[in-house]
Amino acid sequence: MSWLDRFRPRRELATLTLYTGPGCSLCETLKGELKKLGAHRRFELREVDVTTDRELKKRYGLSIPVLELDGEPLLQGKIDPRELRQALQTARS
């Protein structure tokens, strides 16, 4: 955080939720892309393992990774880095 940021009013961060599962290579790739794009600085990030809840597994199990923004679907499955970047830029606006 820069010294100037201390004087700016704090705004609430939007929440990015990543639904994932163990051993999911697409999920790991997406996590790496989110980190590379610095999403943790602009969004509150939540990671949810769908295998821990029967309803989540039923809803997202075959679609992971699934990325939601404030509870609304954003992207899912094999996600192109350019598509991710564009979606995050649009969401931030």
Domains along the chain? 13-92 (3.40.30.10)
pTM exceeds 0.85: no
Chain segment 6-47, per-residue pLDDT in tens: 555 556 789 999 999 999 999 999 999 999 999 988 899 999
Q: Give the position of tokens 């609430």.
A: 12
Rounded to an integer, what distance in angstroms lies between the CA atom of residue 46 and that of residue 68? 10
Average pLDDT over residues 74-88: 94
Answer yes or no: is pLDDT of 67 > 90.
yes
Q: Is the peptide bond before 65 cis (omega within 30 degrees of 0)?
A: yes
Two structure tokens written together for 80: 């192109």
